[in-house]
């Protein structure tokens, strides 16, 4: 057996005996990479100088008789969603093509403490979303046994590197099978540790409540050794379990006589490949021949597992990937017209098709049940295209010039919500700025949009006159004319009656006739639609158009129940 084909456990023994140096082993593995990775494409990056430097450090410590770690001199390949300070970590995505993290993942720190050789970054499905390693933005990894076949995924690069003897050990991440499946496809050993056993600190998140880091190797003993190294409590991960790490190697040779193994009936249903079933049943017979007891069990909720996985995993992915906006880090589009355009173009250019599909599904899963728009439109809740169409292109204020007149936080709330519908918004605010009492997320949001010019704002200003197609505004710098299609007058969540009185808008929302009685005027709570001018008296999130008239949700319900007018 050639050097690069031996297990990590055997190689450690050879180095401890002095029959092998870390540099010799590193060079043997690098030779394998040069010989075969052009065909397999397991690695995204291999820094030969860094690998040899690390190996020389280990050999030097051994020659000086210094204490060495448990993986001293063993090359370990890393899936490229594990952070290494100052080294590019891409997650196989263009959006992180040049990202260099400012910190190192906990498991990588543990490898460094145990004197392992960090041996390159391996390919994966983009952001670990996939099961074939075909969704990488950079290259498609092949199975070392037959490069026309998939190595599995999403840790396909890590599995292929071990199977092709380019590295004796590798780390992958597993959300819904992304270590176990490629290990099986490539004919090596892979396992997903129990959630919380291994710290996720420094693992770029896909689905935080499912992700786990685990070992890939060519033997059970090697996987047990690598798990002992990376397992353990980490206070930087709130889900990390604070329990001692047992010796997994110590129990490898224990007899299994008396062990009970549950075999779920639901795992052998219609659709299971006959060869896979035969392989599993053959393995069960081996356990039985060694004295284990096989017991049939039922897991009745198994049929829902895939559906639940795709809800949980995709919903969490949508939240986790929201951070890639072209602002904080990652790819930013070079040309854009507005901040929203910059967000959408950066993400559209940076994310691959599979990630985009999952984000759309994920966002819909998170929003379902919170919007009643599908019911108002009388379309199925799953018809996402119609919902999006309604929210933007079909919205009555889409691509219209809208003027918001108000005070304190009401103008900011109204302006932001109308902006989200696709309106071109201008604010006229009596005060000197956005009021400090405005909701914490609205104040910075509206201020950023004003700063970048997406929303125009005139502070310490008032409306002097409303005309058919524009509004005359008095600002501290003089009088200006603002084009408008609609005008909203907001004071709290009620109409600005003073504003209405100043501009002669005294209309009964039921008769559209002038209101002369002040008491009647004060009791009204609905806005009025007249000649391109809207005066709104409710939170814009609750507003819709009915028969050409503008109503707040509660007011509309009151009208429908015959309880209008009222307070």
The contacts of residue 282 (CB under 8 Å, 6+ apart) are none
Asked if 173 contacts 133 with a C-beta cutoff of 8 angstroms, the reply is no
Can you list the positions of beta strands (E) in 381-512?
401-406, 424-429, 456-459, 462-466, 470-475, 478-483, 486-491, 494-495
Cα 261 to chain center, whole Å?
36
Residue 34 annotated to the active site: no
Long-range contacts of 480-485 (CB under 8 A, 24+ apart): 482/401, 482/403, 482/426, 482/428, 482/456, 483/401, 484/401, 484/402, 484/403, 484/426, 484/532, 485/400, 485/401, 485/402, 485/532
**Given this model, what pLDDT does residue 395 score?**
56
CB 454 within 8 A of CB 339: yes
Q: Which CATH number fits domain 401-560: 3.20.20.70, 3.40.640.10, 3.40.50.2300, 3.50.50.60?
A: 3.50.50.60
The Cβ of residue 421 has, within 10 Å, a number of other Cβ atoms equal to 19
Nearest-angstrom CA–CA distance, 233 and 318: 28
Cis bond upstream, residue 75 (ω within 30): no
Cα distance between residue 468 and residue 483, in whole Å: 10
pLDDT at position 393 is: 53
Number of C-beta neighbours around residue 508 at 10 A: 16
The bridge status of strand 401-406 relative to strand 528-530 is unpaired
Query: Alpha helix (H) ranges present in 66-213?
Result: 106-113, 156-163, 180-186
| Cα 20 to Cα 9: distance, rounded to the nearest angstrom | 13
Specify the pLDDT at position 85: 97
Distance of CA 351 to the CA centre of its chain: 11
From residue 7, give the alpha-carbon distance in Å to each of 54, 62, 557.
Answer: 20, 20, 73
Q: C-alpha 24: how far from its chain's center?
A: 41
Query: pLDDT value at position 550?
Result: 36
**Run of H or E residues at 76:** strand 75-79
Q: In terms of Cα–Cα distance, which of 14, 6, 28, 95 is closest to 352?
A: 95
> Which tokens belong to 10?
């055997």
**CA dist., res. 208 & res. 496, Å (int):** 47
Tokens of 17: 């005996």
Contact 167, 277 (CB under 8 A): no
Distance (Å) of CA 77 to CA 131, 234, 265, 302, 352: 19, 22, 37, 34, 24
Strands 543-546, 478-483: pairing is: unpaired
Hey, what's the torsion of the CAs at 82, 240, 230, 252, to 10 degrees? -130
pLDDT at 528: 32
The verdict on whether 523 is a catalytic residue reads no
- pLDDT for 441 equals 53
Q: Which has the closest alpha carbon to 170: 83, 32, 78, 69?
A: 78
Domain ranges of the chain: 3-251, 257-367, 401-560
Each residue's pLDDT, cut to its tens digit, for the chain (567 residues) gives 788 789 999 999 999 999 999 999 999 999 999 999 999 999 999 999 999 999 999 999 999 999 999 999 999 999 999 999 999 999 999 999 999 999 999 999 999 999 999 999 999 999 999 999 999 999 999 999 999 999 999 999 999 999 999 999 999 999 999 999 999 999 999 999 999 999 999 999 999 999 999 999 999 999 999 999 999 999 999 999 999 999 999 999 999 999 999 999 999 988 899 999 999 999 999 999 999 999 999 999 998 888 888 889 988 998 899 899 888 778 999 988 888 888 888 999 999 999 998 888 777 777 655 444 444 444 444 444 444 454 455 456 677 787 777 655 567 777 776 777 678 889 888 788 776 555 555 677 778 788 878 889 998 888 787 776 788 889 999 999 988 777 766 544 344 445 555 554 444 444 444 444 444 433 433 333 222 233 333 333 333 333 333 333 443 444 345 443 322
Q: Of all helices (H) and strands (E), which one includes residue 277?
A: helix 274-289
Distance CA 473, CA 481 (A): 6
Global pTM reads: 0.67
Residue 409's pLDDT is what?
A: 59
* Marked catalytic residue, from 79, 121, 192, 443: 79
Contact 166, 143 (CB under 8 A): no
Pairing of strands 212-217, 189-190: antiparallel
CATH class of segment(s) 3-251: alpha beta
334 catalytic? Reply is no
Burial track 443-466 (b if 16+ CB lie within 10 A, e otherwise): bebbbebbeeebbbbbbebebeeb
């Amino acid at each position: 057996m050639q050097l690069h084909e031996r297990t990590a456990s055997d190689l450690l023994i050879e180095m401890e005996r002095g029959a092998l140096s870390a540099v010799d082993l590193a060079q043997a593995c690098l030779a394998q990479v040069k010989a075969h990775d052009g065909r397999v494409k397991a690695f995204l990056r291999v820094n030969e100088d860094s690998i040899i430097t690390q190996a020389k450090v280990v050999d030097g410590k051994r020659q000086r008789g210094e204490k060495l770690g448990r993986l001293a001199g063993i090359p370990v390949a890393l899936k490229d969603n594990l952070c290494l300070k100052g080294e590019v970590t891409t997650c196989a995505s263009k959006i992180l093509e040049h990202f260099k993290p400012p910190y190192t993942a906990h498991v990588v720190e543990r490898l460094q403490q145990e004197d392992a050789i960090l041996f390159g970054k391996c390919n994966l499905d983009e952001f670990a979303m996939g099961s074939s390693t075909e969704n990488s933005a950079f290259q498609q990894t092949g199975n070392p046994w037959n490069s026309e076949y998939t190595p599995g995924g999403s840790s396909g690069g890590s599995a292929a590197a071990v199977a092709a003897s380019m590295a004796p050990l590798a780390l992958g991440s597993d959300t819904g099978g992304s270590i176990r499946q490629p290990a099986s496809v490539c004919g090596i050993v892979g396992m997903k540790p129990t959630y919380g056993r291994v710290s996720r600190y420094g693992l770029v998140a896909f689905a935080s409540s499912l992700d786990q880091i685990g070992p890939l190797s060519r033997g059970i003993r090697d996987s047990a050794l690598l798990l002992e190294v990376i397992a353990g409590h980490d206070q930087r991960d709130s889900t990390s379990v604070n329990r001692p790490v047992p010796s997994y190697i110590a129990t490898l040779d224990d007899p299994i006589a008396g062990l009970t193994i549950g075999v779920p009936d639901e795992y052998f249903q219609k659709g299971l490949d006959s060869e896979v079933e035969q392989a599993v049943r053959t393995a069960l017979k081996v356990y039985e021949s060694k004295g284990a007891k096989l017991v049939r069990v039922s897991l009745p909720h198994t049929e829902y597992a895939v559906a639940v996985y795709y809800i949980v995993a995709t919903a969490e992915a949508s939240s986790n990937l929201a951070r890639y906006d072209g602002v904080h880090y990652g790819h930013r589009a070079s040309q854009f017209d507005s901040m929203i355009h910059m967000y959408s173009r950066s993400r559209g250019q940076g994310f691959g098709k599979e990630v985009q599909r999952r984000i759309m599904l994920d966002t819909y899963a998170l929003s379902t049940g919170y919007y009643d728009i599908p019911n108002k439109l009388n379309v199925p809740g799953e018809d996402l295209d119609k919902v999006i169409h309604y929210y933007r292109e079909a919205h009555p204020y889409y691509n219209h010039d809208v003027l918001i007149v108000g005070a304190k936080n009401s103008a900011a709330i109204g302006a932001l919500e109308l902006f989200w519908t696709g309106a071109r918004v201008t604010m006229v605010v009596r005060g000197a700025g956005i009021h400090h009492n405005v909701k914490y997320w609205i104040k910075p949001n509206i201020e950023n949009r004003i700063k970048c010019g997406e929303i125009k704002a005139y502070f310490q200003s008032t409306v002097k006159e409303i005309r058919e197609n524009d509004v005359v505004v008095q600002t501290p710098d003089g009088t200006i004319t603002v084009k408008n299609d609609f005008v909203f007058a907001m004071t709290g969540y009620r109409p600005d009656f003073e504003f209405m009185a100043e501009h002669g808008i005294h209309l009964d929302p039921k008769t559209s006739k002038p209101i002369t009685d002040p008491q009647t005027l004060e009791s009204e709570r609905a806005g009025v639609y007249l000649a391109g001018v809207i005066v709104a008296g409710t939170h814009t999130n609750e507003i819709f158009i009915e028969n050409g008239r503008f109503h707040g949700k509660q007011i509309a319900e009151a009208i429908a129940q015959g309880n209008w007018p009222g307070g």
